[in-house]
Chain A
Amino acid sequence: MSKSIPVVSHIGQIRGKNVLGNIMSTVPKLLMPVVGILLFLAIWNVVAKNIDTSLGQFPGPAQVWEQTFTLIDEHSAQREKADAFYARQEERNAARVAKDPTYVPKIRDFTGAPTFFDQIWTSLYTVMVGFFIASIVAVPVGILCGLSKSAYSAMNPLIQIFKPVSPLAWLPLVTMVVSAVYVSDDPMFSKSFITSAFTVSLCCLWPTLINTAVGVSNIDSDLVNVSKVLRLKPLSHVQKIVLPASIPMIFTGLRLSLGIGWMVLIAAEMLAQNPGLGKFVWDEFQNGSSESLARIMVAVITIGLIGFLLDRLMLSVQRLVSWDKNAVLR
């Protein structure tokens, strides 16, 4: 017991030194981003004051900050309206059942306009579905291309041709196909949602596909030899050797895909007038009020932040599933 005390304090000393050292070394690390952001805000503020658009002065950080709260207020006001709407609806339903007993009352969704936060949610949901569809197609095809030279040669021209195609070129085709093919009386998803999600998928496919193929074909030959020695069946070869070894490259692809998907979605929503953040931006632009630019700027920053968070999310998933915990990921 008495022996252990100096040991503990010794450890404490070492820790203390380390903490100090850590602080000394992390201060610039923490400080620099803050400096960067402050510098950006300052430049933005000055530049904004000197740009006069026909919708008034370009919004500076202060106006954007103010509009953020306006948007939050609008959201809560709309929620209150929604509550009142449901209450009224129940009363009306009851009154109608009293008059007309054959009527089967139904609660309908709130009919008010979606708020900024509703639109964020719609966009996130759409991008995730589109990204998911793309990934379940791209990863298996990528593995196939990585394993087999001939499969790769067959796929390569298609990949090279379709990879650089802008989402906006796909959009009219997707819209028309969805309208023609997706016909149902009581659709589970709205057409606009399906259109946006598929457009995102079409653009998300390529980075994942290419990176997976490259990752699979570059597996360390030692690992492949191990598999050969153990005479692993093709499926277990993929499961035990190929997948774990190419996880870093697959995730590099997935992260690129998700980033592209997010950018594509905003553009698609803007062009197709499908609900989401893109439509919010377009509607505000059309409104042309003196607050429009500040509100669009709020959306721009939100889009950026969400894109950043999505990327971090993928990074942590990658860390979780990656076998090499020491690899440097950024």
Chain B
Amino acid sequence: MLHKTVKHKFKQVAGSLTLVASLFTASVTTVSAEDIGWPEKEELKFGFIKLTDMAPLAIAYEKGYFEDEGLYVTLEAQANWKVLLDRVIDGQLDGAHMLAGQPLGATIGFGTQSHIITAFSMDLNGNGITVSNDVWAEMEKHIPVENGKPVHPIKADYLKPVVDSYKQAGKPFKMGMVFPVSTHNYELRYWLAAGGIHPGYYAPHKGDTSGQIDAQALLSVTPPPQMPATMEAGTIFGYCVGEPWNQQAVFKGIGVPVITDYEIWKNNPEKVFGVSKTWAEENPNTHIRVVKAMIRAAMWLDANNNANRPEAVKILAKSSYVGADADVIANSMTGTFEYEKGDKREVPDFNTFFRHNATYPFYSDAIWYLTQMRRWGQIAEPKSDDWYMQTAKSVYRPDIYTLAAKALIAEGLADPKDFPDFDTETGFKPPQTEFIDNVTFDGSKPNEYLDKFSIGLKGDTVL
């Protein structure tokens, strides 16, 4: 029943999103390259952070997919996520590689307020949690062993005694994540909370945005490329970050990755391509063309069972992109992940760019992030299920994605099989069960989902 109303609502919303979008929706059946129209803006500057999941941007540039769309794109590495978001908001960047939570957080006004939208999800998975050698040595005592190797996935239950001993010694247990609305923050929190470690609440209505209220593990922000150095300096005891920065800890011998986000939540959405709503309204054709180029790049990255990945690794290793050593990048990009030194395991979907509809912006993904924002107090007030839907729909824009995908299909550059069935797709994934704590997530019932957690805000609770 609820599902039906959701579908109905989706149609309503899709029909009235914006004037431009609805004009296009009216002509979707006959869409082709010419119908999209020439780009309004040809010279574009996109920002990215030095992480392997910026790959679709690098590939779309290097393989000339942007140029095929008549776009002349400059890619520019940014110092940190805040600078990147601010520059998208003030127009210095036309768009950027963003954390999935960033467009949502900006739109609802946690941090800098500005309406950001996304029509393209850049990848699934790709993060890991790494702890320092000292912490690992303590954790290892509690972890069951099979064939001489620790049994994965490693739950935070084994970290709990370590955190407790730090607490008894009067030392704060500090960990790093990359941004308050980052996937990493929510994944690290999810993992810690699943193991009974309280990661702390935010209380923006009281001006507390440190996220450390009631915390047993204190989380703070460190830019991804500086994670290994910060941990080496002893400022933090562990971190959650994207690649290559977990693998680099292994290479440098300064820490041990304990879990990948694939094991925390299988096929979780990671980065998105975000643009400001004003930009998207002023440049609708350009936006669709950008998405087209990026879909092609994502297809290339996953084509023939990752056959192109070694080439992608070479491109990403260039100092203007990720710049880390090729073998460090290759470790995760080619379907393996090295935990302890020498303990290399197969994780074929660790970095997924196109398979499993990775590029489609699902409303349910947006709602998961919104539930986590509520769970940890970034959304201070209780919200109705309907609010979650409306917010997800104002930020995630599968309508634009659909136009781009159909244009590619019409040009013969893509196969309709590789996309969701656009006529019936609701934007909601069926209830997902593959979380580390086995809690089922149904995107259409966010409040019911929040009630299932023992640690976290829910219902009418306000700090």
Q: Interface residues, chain A, CB within 8 Å of chain B?
A: 54-55, 88-89, 92, 96, 100, 103, 106, 108, 111-113, 179, 191, 273, 282-284, 286-292, 295
Min Cβ gap B299→A in Å is: 22
Query: Within the complex, which residue of A106, A111, A289 is in contact with B323, where a contact is CB–CB below 8 Å?
Result: A289
Chain A residue at smallest Cβ distance from B80 = A273
Which residue of chain B lies nearest to A102 when distances are taken between CB atoms in the complex? Answer: B38
Residues of A within 8 A of B248 (CB): 288
Docked CA distance A292–B325 (Å) = 9
Do A283 and B323 have beta carbons less than 8 Å apart?
Answer: yes
Within the complex, the shortest CB–CB distance from A191 to chain B, in Å, comes to 8
Q: Establish whether residues B254 and A289, one from each chain, have CB atoms under 8 Å apart when the complex forms.
A: no
B252 at the interface (CB under 8 A from A): yes
* Residue contact B319 to A287, C-beta cutoff 8 Å: yes
CA distance A266 to B78 in the complex (A): 18
Stretch among B65-73, B213-221, B389-397 lining the A interface: B65-73
**Top 8 A-B pairs, shortest CB-CB distance:** A287-B323, A113-B320, A54-B252, A286-B225, A111-B74, A289-B325, A108-B72, A273-B79
Neighbouring A residues of B70 by C-beta, 8 Å? 92, 96
Q: Does A288 lie within 8 Å of B228, measured CB to CB?
A: yes
Q: Is B90 an interface residue (CB 8 A)?
A: yes
Closest to B319 in A: A287
Query: For the complex, what is the distance from the CA of A106 to the CA of B72, rounded to whole Å?
Result: 11
A284 near B252 (CB under 8 angstroms)?
no
Among candidates B72, B83, B253, residue contacting A111 with C-beta atoms closer than 8 Å: B72
| A287 to B317 CA separation, bound complex (whole angstroms) | 9
Q: Bound state CA distance, A112 and B67, in angstroms?
A: 13
Nearest-Cβ distance from residue B58 to partner chain A, whole angstroms: 11
Give the residues in chain A near B325, CB-CB below 8 Å: 289-291
19 contacts between A and B (CB under 8 A): A54-B229, A54-B252, A108-B43, A111-B43, A111-B74, A112-B320, A113-B318, A282-B79, A283-B320, A283-B323, A284-B319, A286-B50, A286-B323, A287-B50, A287-B319, A288-B225, A288-B248, A289-B319, A290-B325
CB neighbours of B228 from chain A (8 A) = 54, 288
Nearest-CB residue, chain A, relative to B83: A273
Interface size on B, residues (CB 8 A): 36
Instruction: Out of A88, A103, A179, A283, name the residue touching B319 (CB < 8 Å).
Output: A283
| A288-B252 Cα distance, complex, nearest whole Å | 10
For the complex with contacts A54-B232, A283-B320, A289-B317, 14 further pairs of A-B residues with Cβ separation under 8 Å are A54-B252, A92-B70, A96-B70, A111-B72, A111-B73, A113-B320, A179-B90, A284-B319, A284-B323, A287-B50, A287-B225, A288-B225, A288-B229, A289-B323
Residues of A within 8 A of B324 (CB): 287-289
Closest to A100 in B: B38
Residue in B38, B73, B317 whose beta carbon sits within 8 Å of that of A103 in the complex: B38
Indicate whether A88 sits within 8 Å of B38 (C-beta atoms), given known contacts A54-B228, A288-B228, A289-B324.
Answer: no
Closest Cβ of chain A to B77, distance in Å, is 6
In the complex, residue of chain A having the shortest beta-carbon distance to the beta carbon of B90:
A179
Closest residue of A by beta carbon distance from B227: A288
Give the residues in chain B near A282, CB-CB below 8 Å. 79
Residues of A within 8 A of B67 (CB): 88-89, 92
B322: contacting residue among A106, A113, A191, A287, CB under 8 A: A287
Are B75 and A113 interface neighbours, CB within 8 A?
yes
B42 at the interface (CB under 8 A from A): yes
B residues adjacent to A (C-beta < 8 A):
38, 42-43, 50, 61, 64, 67, 70, 72-75, 77-79, 83, 90, 92, 225-226, 228-229, 232, 248, 252-254, 317-320, 322-325, 328
Option from B72, B78, B225, B253 in Cβ contact (under 8 Å) with A273:
B78
Contacts of B43 in A (CB 8 A): 108, 111
Instruction: Tell me the smallest distance from the CB of B50 to a CB of chain A, in Å.
Output: 6
Quote the shortest CB–CB distance from B367 to chain A (angstroms).
34
Name B226's closest neighbour in chain A (CB-CB): A286
Smallest CB–CB gap between A71 and chain B, Å? 10
Most buried by A among B79, B228, B229, B248: B79
Chain A nearest CB, measured from B179 CB (Å)? 16
Nearest A residue to B317, CB-CB: A289
Whether B42 lies near A108 (C-beta < 8 A) is yes
Given contacts A92-B70, A179-B90, A288-B248, contact A283 B77 (CB under 8 A): yes
Closest residue of chain B to A113 (Cβ to Cβ) is B320
For A107, the closest partner residue in chain B by CB is B72
Which residues on A sit within 8 Å (CB–CB) of B319? 283-284, 287, 289, 295
CB contacts (< 8 Å) of B74 on chain A: these are 111
Chain B nearest Cβ from A216, distance in angstroms: 44
Pair A54/B323 contact, Cβ less than 8 Å: no
Q: How long is the Cα–Cα vector from A282 to B78 in the complex, in angstroms?
A: 11
**In the complex, chain A residues whose CB is within 8 Å of the CB of B320:** 112-113, 283
Measured between beta carbons, the chain B residues less than 8 angstroms from A89 are 67, 72
A33 CA to B325 CA, complexed, in Å: 38
Of chain B, the residue at the smallest CB distance from A295 is B319
Expressed in whole angstroms, the minimum distance between the Cβ of B86 and any Cβ of chain A is: 10
Closest to A284 in B: B319
User: Please, which residues of chain A bring their CB within 8 A of the CB of B50?
Assistant: 286-287
Q: How far is the CA of A55 from the CA of B75 in the complex (A)?
A: 26
C-alpha gap A111/B64 in the complex (Å): 12
Give min CB distance, B54 to chain A, whole Å: 13
A283 to B226: give the CA distance in the assembly, Å: 11
Report Cα–Cα, A123/B75, bound state, in Å: 20
In the assembled complex, the Cα of A111 lies from the Cα of B322 at a distance in Å of 17
What distance in Å separates the Cβ of A120 from its nearest Cβ neighbour in chain B?
A: 15
| Chain A residues with CB under 8 A of B75 | 111, 113
User: Of A54, A88, A292, which is within 8 A of B254 by CB?
Assistant: A54
User: How distant is A186 from chain B, measured CB to nearest CB, in Å?
Assistant: 11
Complex CA distance for A108 and B323, rounded to whole angstroms: 26
Q: Which residues of B contact A291 (CB under 8 A)?
A: 325
CB distance from A39 to the nearest CB of B (A): 32
Distance from B65 Cβ to chain A, minimum over Cβ atoms (Å):
13
> What are the residues of chain A within 8 A of B253 when measuring CB–CB?
54
Q: A108 to B318, alpha carbons, bound, how many Å?
A: 23
**What's the minimum C-beta distance from B96 to chain A, rounded to whole angstroms?**
14
Residue of A nearest to B327 (CB): A290
Identify the closest chain B residue to A190 (Cβ): B92
Residues of chain B lying within 8 A (CB to CB) of residue A179: 90
Question: A287 vs B318: C-alpha distance in the bound complex, in angstroms?
Answer: 9
Nearest CB of B to A215, in Å: 42
A290 to B77, CA, bound (A): 20
Q: Which residues of B contact A273 (CB under 8 A)?
A: 78-79, 83
